[in-house]
Amino acid sequence: MVNVTIEEARDKLGELIHRLAAGEEVVITENDQPVARLVAAAATPAKQPRRFGTLKGTVLSMERFDDPLEDFEEYR
């Protein structure tokens, strides 16, 4: 863990970011008190491209979907 002041962090931000990539943690201090902590962001997994047909057979399609319902014949 590396401690740096706010001024040092402002001046050496690029260097500090490269340290994060190596797995280090950087604590930013002001008046010898920690005020912030820099850590590397979690890597996001690469998205797989969508493939056509992966949901084939999962959608229910009824041949008589638009036919009137027998339960409601008295209301017509």
Q: Give one DSSP letter per residue of 8-31, joined into a string.
A: HHHHTHHHHHHHHHTT--EEEEET
Phi, psi of 12 (to 5 degrees): -120, 35
- The pLDDT tens digits for 10-62 are 999 998 888 887 677 899 999 999 999 998 887 777 888 888 888 887 877 77
DSSP 70: G
pTM of the model as a whole: 0.53
Please list the residues that pair with 37 across neighbouring strands.
Answer: 27
Q: What amino acid occupies position 68?
A: P
Local structure of 61: helix, strand or coil: coil
